[in-house]
């Protein structure tokens, strides 16, 4: 019901300056070299609102977490530790907003998104929780019968407390006073002076605030579990806290009381419960573990004498059986990748009943083969994404899908003692180590096909490439200016991927110009603006189609043609799919594509087909009006000048 949209981290470990990261609704992939700050970023998020409040590992501690070189100054400036170390922006769902409106009244709560910060003393602060007290009072009083004069006097109240004082003096409004006092003034538990704000935070924001689940390679099931040590909560070098936690998760899933096991000599019920649980988890694992389908989990309880204490200890042995080869091996002898995958499923199974969860994975699948990493990505897409936001770190190219580069964020060490780690939605030009996994994800064959020219014109898609190629050819055939031959048109696969491709291509010192549809998505626009701000590309190197069309402020390449010309292409190509569209059905003051979508009742038709059709009919200048030819010629003239 609440989505994480943005995180700001400040003065935490290697983050010496305020850094901001945009969070995707689905998966956010954080790429960076070792020791760049990726783990610190996930840790800070986990400490914001960890799913297990009893786990003090995931609470802020300024002594351990504040940048060591600035700690003394911090202690002097913030003796109460009221410093916002992490700030999260959340977007509220329409469902939650409706619930709030039904409770406090329409247009009383006026925030679509809220900001929540957490300090080094582990106190949450809430910002941007805006309310309209006047509207609340008006609607609250509608539930009671009042004379107009009395109602007008009560509405003048500037706060809930002031209204309560007035109601207290009116005997016939005792019920209104009790409701206001009990429900809205006395019950909220936050520090906000505005009782209405405090009520909304207590009743709706805090209960729906996402919790964070953190998982890394250390949360791995041990092959041997000393049941007495587990029962005593004994954590040491041989049985770490993370191993204890993952073991506890397994036993809780199996609904096992270890005390009863320790007092019994019959382990059949114990083993049966464990096997029933592990079978369910194994079935899920093998659904995505394509490397080997012949595995199953076995459990054994052994009694062994401890030579040093002369006591007998009960040990749970976890073994993996290969049903094909009919052999079993201790869990510790299986691959680290398999152990990680199985352990994660155990850990996740424990908490998956929680609906409002954000999953943080630190270097997931680090020990998995490339194909197994692909299996893990499938698991994330099919099992996690439908219900949860996922944020993971990696430096493996196999954990980055080339068609999802827009979901990538980078973290790198600035090597500046005053700046520390830097988070970027683009890529740092000087840091080729950070750049490498993304280049590898694209594939070197694809990369080589892109880098065939020193001059690259980046466009959104293949349709742009074909339209531009055809129109340039027609102009040149008639001794007019088309696109210079030494310029390569590069379709990037979508407007949202433009910023990523600019970052990747400029690492090879290539000359680039962008020719784009008008940005409607503010996120994509901001990423491009950030590239300009960071001097990765100059503003003059970015051209938009609407600059060449007088009648429109928003345009795509299809709007470069006269309306009847593009409709002719569309109608002839889609003659078997849709009824013919006439010019009279099109508003000349609006882009043509959204209007066609609306007429044919489709979210999006295949833009490639009209462009392909144009190439197949060998059209010449007579097919187009002078206005269309002039637009394209003016565009090509500007593009050529930019490269020269």
Residues 58-85 have a mean pLDDT of 89
Taking only the tens place, the pLDDT of each residue in 203-242 is 999 999 999 999 888 788 888 888 888 888 888 878 888 8
pLDDT (0 to 100) of residue 431: 61
- Do residues 298 and 320 lie in contact, with contact meaning Cβ atoms separated by under 8 Å? yes
* Percent of the chain clearing pLDDT 90 (strictly above): 34
pLDDT (0 to 100) of residue 236: 81
Taking only the tens place, the pLDDT of each residue in 278-325 is 777 778 777 877 777 777 777 777 777 766 666 778 888 888 877 777
pLDDT (0 to 100) of residue 579: 93
Query: Lowest-pLDDT range, 89-98, 249-258, 381-390?
Result: 249-258
- Cα-Cα-Cα-Cα dihedral sign, residues 468, 469, 470, 474: positive
Residues 459-483 have a mean pLDDT of 93
- Do residues 463 and 517 lie in contact, with contact meaning Cβ atoms separated by under 8 Å? no
Mean pLDDT of the residues in the chain:
85
- Cα-Cα-Cα-Cα dihedral sign, residues 23, 365, 422, 13: positive
Residues 468-496 have a mean pLDDT of 89
Please give the Cα distance from 278 to 318 (Å, whole number).
10
Confidence bin at 508 (pLDDT 50/70/90): low
Q: Which residue has the higher pLDDT, 237 or 513?
A: 513
Query: Lowest-pLDDT range, 188-192, 326-330, 572-576?
Result: 188-192
Domain boundaries of the chain, sorted by first residue: 219-347, 443-644
pLDDT (0 to 100) of residue 445: 40
pLDDT (0 to 100) of residue 413: 87
C-beta atoms surrounding 552 within 10 Å: 17
Range from 290-294, 353-357, 364-368 that averages highest in pLDDT: 364-368
Among candidate residues 200, 9, 221, the one with its CA nearest the CA of residue 97? 200
The contacts of residue 620 (CB under 8 Å, 6+ apart) are 474, 477
pLDDT (0 to 100) of residue 81: 82
Q: What strands, in cross-sheet order, belong to the sheet with 211-215?
A: 211-215, 357-361, 389-394, 27-31, 408-413, 421-424
Residues 255-276 have a mean pLDDT of 77
Taking only the tens place, the pLDDT of each residue in 428-458 is 545 666 666 666 665 534 554 554 577 889 8
Helix, strand counts (H, E) of the chain: 25, 19
Taking only the tens place, the pLDDT of each residue in 312-344 is 788 888 888 777 777 777 777 777 888 888 888
pLDDT (0 to 100) of residue 444: 39
pLDDT (0 to 100) of residue 188: 66
Burial 63-84, CB ≥16 within 10 A → b, else e: eebbbeeeeeebeeebeebebb
pTM over 0.95: no
Please give the Cα distance from 62 to 69 (Å, whole number).
12
Look at residue 87 and tell me whether its pLDDT is greater than 90.
yes
Please give the Cα distance from 23 to 4 (Å, whole number).
7
pLDDT (0 to 100) of residue 506: 60
Look at residue 632 and tell me whether its pLDDT is greater than 90.
yes
The contacts of residue 43 (CB under 8 Å, 6+ apart) are 13, 58, 214
């Amino acid at each position: 019901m609440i989505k994480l949209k943005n995180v700001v981290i400040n003065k935490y470990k290697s983050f010496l300056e305020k850094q901001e990261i945009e969070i995707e609704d689905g998966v956010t992939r954080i790429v960076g070299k070792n020791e760049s700050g990726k783990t610190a970023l996930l840790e800070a998020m986990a400490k914001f609102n960890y799913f297990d409040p009893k786990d003090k590992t995931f609470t802020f501690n300024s002594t351990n977490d504040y940048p060591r070189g600035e700690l003394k100054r911090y202690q002097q400036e913030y003796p109460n530790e009221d410093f916002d170390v992490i700030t999260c922006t959340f977007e509220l769902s329409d469902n939650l907003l409706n619930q709030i409106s039904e409770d406090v009244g329409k247009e009383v709560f006026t925030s679509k998104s809220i900001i929540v910060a957490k300090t080094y003393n582990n106190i949450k602060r809430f910002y941007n929780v805006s309310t309209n007290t006047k509207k609340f009072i008006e609607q609250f009083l509608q539930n009671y019968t009042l004379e107009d004069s009395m109602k007008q006097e009560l509405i003048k109240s500037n706060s809930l407390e002031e209204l309560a004082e007035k109601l207290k003096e009116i005997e016939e409004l005792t019920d209104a006073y009790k409701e206001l006092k009990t429900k809205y003034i006395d019950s909220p538990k936050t520090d906000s002076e505005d009782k209405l704000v405090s009520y909304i935070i207590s009743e709706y924001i805090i209960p729906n605030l996402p919790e964070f689940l953190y998982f890394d390679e250390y949360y791995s099931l041990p092959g041997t579990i000393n049941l007495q040590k587990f029962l005593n909560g004994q954590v040491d070098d041989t049985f770490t806290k993370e191993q204890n936690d993952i073991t506890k998760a397994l036993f809780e899933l199996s609904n096992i009381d270890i005390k009863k096991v320790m007092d019994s000599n019959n382990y059949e019920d114990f083993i049966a419960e464990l096997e029933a649980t592990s079978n369910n988890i194994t079935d899920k694992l093998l659904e995505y573990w394509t490397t080997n389908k012949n595995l199953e989990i076995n459990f054994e309880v052994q009694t062994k004498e401890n030579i040093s204490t002369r006591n007998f200890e009960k040990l749970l042995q976890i073994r993996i059986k290969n049903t094909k080869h009919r052999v079993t091996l201790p869990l510790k002898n299986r691959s680290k990748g398999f152990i990680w995958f199985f352990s994660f499923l155990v850990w996740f199974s424990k908490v998956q009943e929680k609906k409002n969860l954000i999953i943080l994975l630190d270097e997931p699948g680090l020990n998995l083969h490339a194909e197994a990493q692909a299996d893990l990505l499938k698991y994330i897409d099919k099992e996690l994404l439908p219900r949860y936001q996922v944020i993971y770190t990696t430096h493996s190219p196999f954990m980055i899908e080339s068609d999802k580069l827009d979901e990538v964020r980078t973290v790198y060490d600035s090597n500046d003692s005053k700046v520390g780690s830097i988070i970027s939605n683009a890529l740092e030009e000087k840091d080729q180590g950070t750049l490498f996994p993304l280049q590898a994800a694209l594939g070197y064959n694809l990369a080589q096909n892109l880098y065939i020219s020193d001059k690259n014109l980046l466009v959104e898609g293949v349709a742009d490439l074909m339209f531009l190629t055809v129109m340039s050819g027609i102009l040149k055939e008639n001794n007019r200016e088309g696109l210079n031959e030494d310029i390569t048109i590069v379709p990037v696969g979508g407007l949202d991927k433009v910023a990523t491709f600019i970052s990747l291509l400029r690492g090879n010192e290539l000359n680039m110009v962008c020719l784009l549809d008008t940005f409607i998505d503010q996120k994509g626009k901001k990423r491009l603006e950030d590239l300009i701000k960071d001097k990765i590309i100059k503003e003059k190197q970015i051209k938009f189609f609407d600059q060449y069309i007088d009648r429109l402020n928003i345009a795509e390449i299809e709007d470069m043609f006269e309306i009847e010309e593009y409709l002719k292409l569309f109608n002839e190509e889609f003659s078997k799919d849709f009824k013919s569209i006439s010019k009279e059905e099109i508003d000349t003051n609006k882009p043509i594509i959204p209007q066609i979508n609306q007429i044919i009742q489709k979210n999006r038709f295949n833009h490639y087909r009209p462009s392909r059709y144009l190439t197949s009919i060998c059209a010449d200048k007579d097919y187009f009006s002078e206005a269309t030819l002039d637009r394209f010629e003016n565009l090509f003239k500007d593009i050529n000048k930019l490269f020269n």
